[in-house]
Amino acid sequence: MRHPDRFVVSWFFGALVLVFSAPFVSAQAVLPANDGKTAEQVYKNITALRGTPANELNQSMHLMKGALGIDCLYCHIEREWEKDVKAPKEVARKMILMMMDINQRQFGGKQVVTCYTCHNGRPIPADVPVFPVLEPRTPDATTLPTADQIFAKYVQALGGEQAIRRVTRRAITGTQFIPTGPGGTVPTPATVERYLKAPNVNATTYHTAAYTIAQGFDGTTAWAQDQNGRVTDAIRLDQLRAARAADVYEPLNLKKAYAQVTVRGIERVNNHDTYLVVGIPQGDLPERLYFDILSGLLLRKETALPTPIGNSPYQVDFDDYRDTGSGVKVPFLIHMSPANPRTELAPEATLRVLKVEDNGTIDDAKLARPASRPSQPR
């Protein structure tokens, strides 16, 4: 039995669902076939997190590690993860139960208090304020544009609706260090090939010196092929996100993607003032979109993965927008923090786009879901 923090989920999506002209990046990770199973049914010696979904436990460990600024061996014994030897492990269990109790009694079961609420990246929480203490910036809501106005300016900044709709196929090549190894902490250089076809089909292949992996969405299902050739479907939550991300005309359909949209205010992103728009997809966590006030372009997207101990954040920054030659702009520099949503929080990754070709010929085989090779006995 492997400890969840050592299970390599990052062989699958090294961080890319590059959607047509929006393009935002998402990443789905193919986890073991544990949908419906609880943590104690899959892993050994689970106590505080009994009854929680097994597929959320791995990211819970990553989130706890980042929230306290520690590593796995702070609580565990190398390769004997289930053993109760170190005192901090029992303390962590008590803290988890305390956090859950506070949320249940004080907030009606809503997850408001997390490990990070008190720890802020420290094993021992601070008990005095940290200077400087900043005054909040609260703009007058009456001066803010509406979400419709922000989305419309974004579409115009990309090249306009007619230009966006004229592109029905796109081929992208680039380079990226993809997250591999335990928790995705080992960066591996790869060349990236990505193909998109309207309305919602895509496939991406990552070539490294040692292996090739792939991912895609066939119009219905998100899939991934690991380094051994095994093809697996993503879990339900990631299927829902992949389906939204696969919309080739996503910039035109942003309002439709959200059950509720709110313009929250003005935030500073990479030395640019931006409008913060919060969209809530049906049945999912809120997403935060940051649009440059001057250019109208999307500069950042923030999402999160739910876990039993809090939401695990994922941030993607977009830069170096260029016209592809079709009259539509796409970002040629995409930075992901962490490297994908299911890695540990520390490793980051950057996709550098080298070439984009719109409406060229794309072999259907490049978009097809590959046949899965049988699993090899261990």
Burial class (CB in 10 A: 0-12, 13-18, 19+), 143: exposed
d(CA 252, CA 255): 8
The tens place of each residue's pLDDT in the chain, 378 residues long, gives 334 333 333 333 333 333 333 343 433 444 545 678 898 999 999 999 999 888 888 889 999 998 898 888 899 998 898 999 999 999 999 999 999 999 999 999 998 999 999 998 888 888 877 777 666 555 566 689 999 999 999 999 999 999 999 999 999 999 999 988 888 888 999 999 999 999 999 999 999 999 999 999 999 999 999 999 999 998 888 898 999 989 999 999 999 999 999 999 999 999 999 999 999 999 899 999 999 999 999 999 999 999 999 999 999 999 999 999 999 999 999 999 999 888 889 889 999 999 999 999 999 999 999 999 876 655
pLDDT number for residue 238: 87
pLDDT number for residue 376: 62
pLDDT number for residue 210: 94
pLDDT number for residue 33: 56
Question: Residue 340: which of 191, 233, 230, 181 has the closest Cα?
Answer: 181
Residue 117 burial (CB count, 10 A) = 13
> Which tokens hold the place of 114?
């997390």
Phi and psi at residue 60, in whole multiples of 5°?
-60, -40
pLDDT number for residue 131: 76
pLDDT number for residue 140: 62
Amino acid at 132: P
What is the value of pTM for the model shown? 0.83
Q: How do residues 154-181 score in pLDDT, each as one tens digit?
A: 999 999 999 999 999 999 999 999 988 8
CA angle 364, 367, 371 (to 5 degrees): 100
Q: Are strands 212-217 and 201-207 parallel, antiparallel or unpaired?
A: antiparallel
> Which tokens hold the place of 127?
């008990």
Query: Is 4-34+144-366 a CATH 3.20.20.140 domain?
Result: no
> Which tokens hold the place of 368?
């097809």
pLDDT number for residue 136: 56
Q: How do residues 84-114 score in pLDDT, each as one tens digit?
A: 999 999 999 999 999 999 999 999 999 899 9
Question: Residue 280: which of 298, 264, 300, 293 has the closest Cα?
Answer: 264
